[in-house]
Structure 1
Amino acid sequence: MSRRTLLRGAAAVAGAGAAGALAGCSSDDNSGGTGTKAQTTITYWDWYASQAGWVDNEIKLFQQAHPGIAVKKTTQVSDKYADLVSLAYRSNNPPDILMVPKSPQLSQQVTQDWLLPVDKWATKDWQSRFPQSSFVEGVDMFDGKIYTAPFAAPAPSLQLYVHHKVFKDAGLTESDGSVKLPKSWDDVTHAAEAIASKSGGKVAPFGFGNSTNTTLAWWLDLFVRGAGSPGGAAVGGIDGMDYRVGQWTFGTDRNYADVINLLLEWKNKNWFYPNSMSISDEQARAFFERGRFGMTVGGVWNQPEWTEHKFTDYSLVTLPAPDGNPKALFYGPPGGKFVAVSSKSKHADEAWAWFDWLYSKDAGKRWVEQGQGLSVYADNNDPKGVTFAPFAQYVAMSGTAVVGPQPTVRNPLLTKLELPAVKPDINDVLSGIWTGQLKDVQGTLSSLTDKMNQALSDAVKKVGTGASQKDFAFPDWDLTKPYTTKPGA
C-alpha cells in the first residue's frame, strides 16, 4: 500500500508493505471443514505473506461455518500482483474473489468490467455496521454501486523504533528503570548523544537501509508531520500533497528544509550507521535487532520478522515533534478497499459469503488481536485485547490517524486524473542531498515543488471541463481533526 493509503494504514492496511515473500502458495483444503467434500470451491487471490496466518485461520473458520463452500487461496508476490491479475482477466480466468490490486485505478477496474457490484447483498442494513462515510462515490462506489469496502482504519504508517538494551546501556531510563522514550526533537537528539558517548562510538544512535532509495523519505515524513505539515513525503502521487493549499509544498513549507537540515546535522556528527545508504531495509531490521544502532524509522511491517526471531526488546513512538506535541497526524481517505468479487465468477453467491466473512467485525477483531493491523471497526482497536506489548503500543496509536480531505469526493471527475511520475522525485532528491551531490537544499526542494505542481496542472487540464486545481484545496482543514469532504463542496 502506499503508506498513507497504507498506512489507513496500513497500511494500507498499514502491514501490506512487508508482503511479497510468498508466491504461488495455495490452500488445497477443499473439504469445507466437515470431513465431507464441499459442493463449491471458490478461488481467492491476495498478496499477503506475513498476514497468511490470519487468512488461513479465517478460511478454516469460514469453512466450518459454511461446509458447502471451500476456499482455495493463492498468495501472489506483491510487486507482481497487479500484472498477474491483469493477465488473469485477459486470459478470462480470474479468481472468484480477489484482493483489489493497486493498479490500474479502481475506477478503471470497474470500467474494464473486472469487478461485480455487490449491492444485491450489501443492503443498507449491511452497510450500517460500518463507520460513517465508509461508502463514498469515487472511492469504493461508482455510479452509486458498491464494489468493495474499507477493512482497515487509517493507520499511523511510520514510527520511531527504540532498542531497549541500547537505551538502557546509555542510561536512558526513567526512575522506575523503564526506557525513557523520546517525544520531541530535542529528546531524540539527547538520546543520540548519550548512545554515541556511552558506547564510545561502537553503537550508532540511528540506522536505516536505503538501498531501494525509499527509507530516507520515511524519516522526513515522520518528523515533518510532527512539526505540522500534512503532506506525506513518503507517499507517492496525489496523496503526498498538502491539501490545505492543493499543491506540493516541499519548497515553500520550511518544515521540510528544517527536518532535512536536522538529519544532516545528525549525519555530520556520525550518528547514523555508516552503511545505511547501501544496505537494504531487511538488513537494517536485522542490525537493529542485534543492537547495532538504537533508533530506526519504519512501520508495523517490522514487527512480524522480529517476532519470528523472538526479538521483543523494543518500543515505538510516533510523530516526534519540535516541542513534543504533534501538530499534524496521519491521514487516509474516507471509504476504502480490500477485496472484491470478480465479474467473471460463476459462484458469485459463494464469493459474497467469503467477502461478507472477511468484512465481519469478528474477523477484524482477530486481525487486530493477531497483530496484523487496525480494524475499520473502532471497538476492535483496543490495546487491552493485544497480548504482544509492541503491537499493543501500535494499536494505542490509532488516534494519530484520521480521515483526511479527498478531492475525488468533492469532484468525481478527478477519478480520471492520471498524474505522471516526476523524476527526480523526493527520494532521489534526499539521496542527492545526503551524499553531498546536491548542495542547495532549499533550491533543490523548490525546483522539485515547481515540477510536481506543473505536472498536476497539466494532468488536471487533460481531465477536461469541470476539473480544476481548486478541487484539491481545503483551506478550512484543521490538521488535528478528521475531515469529511462533502460532494461538490
Structure 2
Amino acid sequence: MLNIRRVTLATGALAVGALAITACAPSAGAGNAAGDDTTITVWGWRQEDATTYEEIFKTFEEAHPGVEVEYVPYLNTEYDTILATGLKDASGPDVAQLRSYGLLQPLVESGDLVALDDEIDGLDEFSPSVLDGARGVSDGAVYGVPFAIQTLHVIYNTAIFDDLGLDEPTTWDEMVEAFDTIKASGVTPLANTVTDTWMLPIEQEIFGAGTYGGTPYLEKMLDGDATFTDQPWVDSVDAWTSTQDYWGDNFQGTSYEDAQALFTSGQAAAFPGGIWELANFRKANPDLELGIFNVPAPDGSGTPVPGYVDGSFGVSNASDNKDAALELVEWMASPEFGQAFSDKLAQISPVPGVTPTDKLLAEAVDGYAAEPSPYITYAYFSGGTPTAWDLASSSFSSLILGEIDAAGAAGKIQQGVDQWFTPRS
C-alpha cells in the first residue's frame, strides 16, 4: 500500500505566495523537437473547455511551426478508466490531464508517466506544496505541471444581500445573523447539495476548517499526533451541520444540479462550493451579481480559506512524440500559458507570475494567500485505499440522513485510514 510518510509534504502557504516569481518558459523560437508535421494529442476530462483549450494551444502552435496540438476530451466520469488503458501504448495520449494527490498514484505506480523533475524548466519556481498535487508518494518525483488551484468559499448573490441590507460577514455570529435575515425574507440562505456526496467534504471544509484548525492540525495528523476522531475534527463536522437550518426545504433530496439551479434562479442567496462555480453560474445566468466570502472561525481565531491543486498535465512514457510533448508541458509551466488559462477559463493558475484579471478570482487568491487551509480528506489522506475522501463522502451522507452522529462519521473515516496510513517520521 502507499505510504504517505515516504514524501515530505510542505503545508505552508501554497503557490499564491510565490505567484510574483517568473517561471522559465521555453524559447518562443524553439523548433519542433520531434520533427515537422507532429500532432501532440492532449487527453482531458473537461469536455466543456475543449474549444478554449484549442484556442490556448494555438499560441504554442504559432511558435512551433509544423506542430499541431489536439485536445481530446472524454466524459469526466469515464476518464480515469480510459486514461489508465490509453497510457499503455503509443495509441494513447502524448500529454494527459492528470488527477491530483492520491488519485494520481495508480498511474505513478504503473510506470506510465514521465518524471518531470529533470526534464523541464520552471518546476523549481512552483511552491513545493503545489507540486505535492502532482508528486508521486512512493518516490517524491513530480509527474505533472499543476494547472489549477481550487479555493472553497461561500458564493453569494450580492443583489439579495444588498436588498436586505447585509454586508459580508466578518464573524461566525454575523454569518448566522445574515442567514436568519435571509430565511425570514422567504429566500433559502444556502443551496447545499446532499445527494451528490462528493460535495459533502467540500462543504465541511468551508464551514469547519476554522474549528479544527486548518494547516496546524494537518501537521499534527501527518505526525500521528492528531486524528479525525479527536475533538477538534469532530467539532468541525458539528460546526458544518449546525448550518442545516439554512439549507432549505427537502435538502436531503437536493442534488448538485438542483442546488446550482436554486442559486442561479435567485431562490437561494448563497452556494457553498469551489471557485470553479463562478464560470458555471455566469453562464447559467449572465445577470447574476456574484460575491464570495470566507467563513470565519467560530472562536474568532481567523478566516481560513481551504484550497487544493485540481490536477496537472503530464507526459506518457509510451508516447512516440515524447520530446515534443515535453516541450508542450514545459510551456504549460510558463506565465504565457498560465495567464491564458486563467483569463480564458476563469480559473486560478498556480503558475508563478500569473495574476487573475477576474475580480473575484483575485479576491480568492488574496484570501488564500493570507490564510491558506488544506482540503485534508482529499489532498493529504487519499494516498491509500480506502481514501479519506471516499470515506468522508459516504459517512457524511449517513450523518445528514440521521443514521450516525459526527463522532460516528469521524470514526468511520479514521477506521478506514488506519488500514494504510503510517505517520511520517
TM class by smaller structure:
0.7 to 0.9
Cα distance, 1:86–1:9 mapped onto 2, change above 3 Å: farther
Equivalent of 2:180, from 187, 193, 197? 193
Normalised to the residue count of structure 2, the TM-score between the two structures is 0.77
Aligned to 1:220: 204
The Cα of 1:222 is off from its aligned counterpart by: 1.2
Aligned to 2:238: 260
- Give CA deviations for 1:338-379 in whole Å, capped at 9, x if unaligned: 112211211222212211222212111222233532232343
The reply to whether residue 203 of structure 1 matches residue 187 of structure 2 is yes
Aligned to 1:58: 56
Query: What is the identity, as a one-letter code, of the residue corresponding to 1:63?
Result: E
Q: Return the alpha-carbon distance in structure 1 between the equivalents of residues 349 and 390 of structure 2.
A: 36
The reply to whether residue 310 of structure 1 matches residue 266 of structure 2 is no
Cα distance, 1:361–1:325 mapped onto 2, change above 3 Å: same
Aligned to 2:402: 436
Q: Unpaired segments of 5 or more residues in structure 1?
A: 1-7, 11-37, 173-179, 234-238, 407-413, 461-468, 472-488
Q: Return the alpha-carbon distance in structure 1 between the equivalents of residues 342 and 211 of structure 2.
A: 29
Retained in 2: the 8 A contact 1:371–1:391?
Answer: no
Equivalent of 2:336, from 323, 348, 362? 362
Aligned to 1:85: 83
The Cα of 1:243 is off from its aligned counterpart by: 3.4
Cα distance, 1:47–1:148 mapped onto 2, change above 3 Å: same
- The equivalences for 1:17-28 within 5 A come to none
Query: What is the identity, as a one-letter code, of the residue corresponding to 1:305?
Result: N
Equivalent of 1:169, from 148, 163, 168? 163
- Give CA deviations for 1:220-250 in whole Å, capped at 9, x if unaligned: 22122122433899xxxxx99943645532x
SS at match of 1:338: strand
The Cα of 1:319 is off from its aligned counterpart by: 3.2
Q: Return the alpha-carbon distance in structure 1 between the equivalents of residues 236 and 132 of structure 2.
A: 37
Aligned to 1:243: 222
Q: Return the alpha-carbon distance in structure 2 between the equivalents of residues 138 and 204 of structure 1.
A: 39
The Cα of 1:305 is off from its aligned counterpart by: 1.8
Q: Return the alpha-carbon distance in structure 1 between the equivalents of residues 163 and 261 of structure 2.
A: 19
Q: Unpaired segments of 5 or more residues in structure 2?
A: 1-12, 16-35
Retained in 1: the 8 A contact 2:42–2:72?
Answer: yes
Q: Considering fraction of residues, name the structure with more helix.
A: 2
Greater shift, 391-400 or 224-233, is seen at 224-233
The Cα of 1:206 is off from its aligned counterpart by: 2.1
Q: Return the alpha-carbon distance in structure 2 between the equivalents of residues 421 and 302 of structure 1.
A: 25
Cα distance, 1:195–1:243 mapped onto 2, change above 3 Å: same
Retained in 2: the 8 A contact 1:135–1:141?
Answer: no
SS at match of 2:77: helix
Cα distance, 1:456–1:259 mapped onto 2, change above 3 Å: closer
Retained in 1: the 8 A contact 2:304–2:371?
Answer: no
Aligned to 1:149: 145
The Cα of 1:72 is off from its aligned counterpart by: 1.7
Aligned to 2:8: none
Equivalent of 2:423, from 467, 470, 473? 470
Retained in 2: the 8 A contact 1:228–1:326?
Answer: no
- The equivalences for 1:59-458 within 5 A come to 59-90=57-88, 93-101=91-99, 106-118=104-116, 121-122=119-120, 126-131=122-127, 139-140=135-136, 147-153=143-149, 155-156=150-151, 158-172=152-166, 180-197=167-184, 199=185, 202-230=186-214, 242-243=221-222, 245=224, 247-249=226-228, 251-254=229-232, 256-257=234-235, 260=238, 263-264=241-242, 266-268=243-245, 271-308=246-283, 309-326=285-302, 328-330=304-306, 332=308, 338-381=312-355, 383=356, 386=357, 388-400=358-370, 402=372, 418-420=384-386, 425-438=391-404, 441=405, 443-445=407-409, 448-449=410-411, 451-458=412-419
Q: Return the alpha-carbon distance in structure 2 between the equivalents of residues 162 and 405 of structure 1.
A: 21
Retained in 2: the 8 A contact 1:117–1:147?
Answer: yes
Cα distance, 1:401–1:44 mapped onto 2, change above 3 Å: farther
Retained in 2: the 8 A contact 1:46–1:99?
Answer: yes
The Cα of 1:400 is off from its aligned counterpart by: 4.8
Retained in 2: the 8 A contact 1:51–1:372?
Answer: no
Cα distance, 1:285–1:137 mapped onto 2, change above 3 Å: closer
Cα distance, 1:118–1:453 mapped onto 2, change above 3 Å: closer
Cα distance, 1:258–1:347 mapped onto 2, change above 3 Å: closer
Q: Return the alpha-carbon distance in structure 2 between the equivalents of residues 431 and 119 of structure 1.
A: 40
